[in-house]
Amino acid sequence: MSIFLQGLLFGIVYIAPIGMQNLFVVSTAIEQPYRRALRVALIVIAFDASLSLACFYGVGQLLQARPWLELLVLLVGSLLVFYIGWGLVSAQEQAMGTVTAPFSYRTAVVTAFSVAWLNPQAIIDGSVLLAAFRVSIPAALTHFFIAGVIIASIIWFFSLTSLVSRFKHLMRPRVLLWINRVCGAIIILYGVKLLATFVTKI
């Protein structure tokens, strides 16, 4: 039980800081109806959980062993992150917080995949941190730890979606618009960081 709780605590601490996944979940909760936002949160959870499992079992080592693959992920990831950020920055006020806001589950899946799997920093950092925990835990108990990490992801993203959806009616459309634009600007900065990393590694 203590190993599971360690994984749960690590998962919350690791996911909670503002990152691209959180910004995407917040933006969706603001723009879309509650049930749709929960479905998108579930998509984000699926990709986050799969990334955690992959990091726990060594995908970060694959990127480090194949420099060309890391460069490819950096380049494609930076371009997709730019695209996602620009979409938020250029959002129109009349679309904010309405059921008629443009939405596609296909786009949601691509975005959720991008902010998780096309973020090399998250993959490498996650691999290092999760690998450190893995070697410190008896082999027979490792599945309890990673289960705690995945449960933390479920709790966090569902809670974040519910909280934002619950209180978004207190915000005026223009406030929601600027929240989206700030989120978009931060995501674009992530894209700049990824592109800079790509350039320095060439």
Q: 104-142, pLDDT tens digit by residue?
A: 888 889 888 988 887 776 777 677 677 667 766 777 788
Higher-confidence residue of 60 and 185: namely 185
| Residue 106 exposure: Cα atoms within 13 Å on the Cβ side | 0
Task: Identify the pLDDT of residue 100.
Answer: 44
Q: Compare 95 and 104 and report the one with higher pLDDT.
A: 104
Q: Say what the pLDDT of residue 99 is.
A: 41
Per-residue pLDDT averaged across 41-47, rounded?
95
Q: How many CB atoms lie within 10 A of CB 159?
A: 12
Average pLDDT, integer, range 150-173: 87
Q: What is the pLDDT confidence band of residue 69, given thresholds at 50, 70 and 90?
A: confident
The pTM for the full model equals: 0.72
Residue from 157, 201, 193, 200 nearest 27 by CA: 157
More confident call, 67 vs 145: 145
Taken in order 132, 134, 137, 138, is the CA torsion positive or negative? Answer: negative
User: Is the per-residue pLDDT at 40 higher than 90?
Assistant: yes
Q: What is the mean pLDDT of the chain?
A: 79
CA distance 74 to 164: 31
**b/e per residue 28-44 (b: at least 16 CB within 10 A):** bbbbbeeebbbbbbebb
Asked whether 201 and 81 are in contact (CB, 8 A), the reply is no
Region 80-100: what's the mean pLDDT?
A: 63
d(CA 103, CA 144): 37
pLDDT value, residue 173: 63
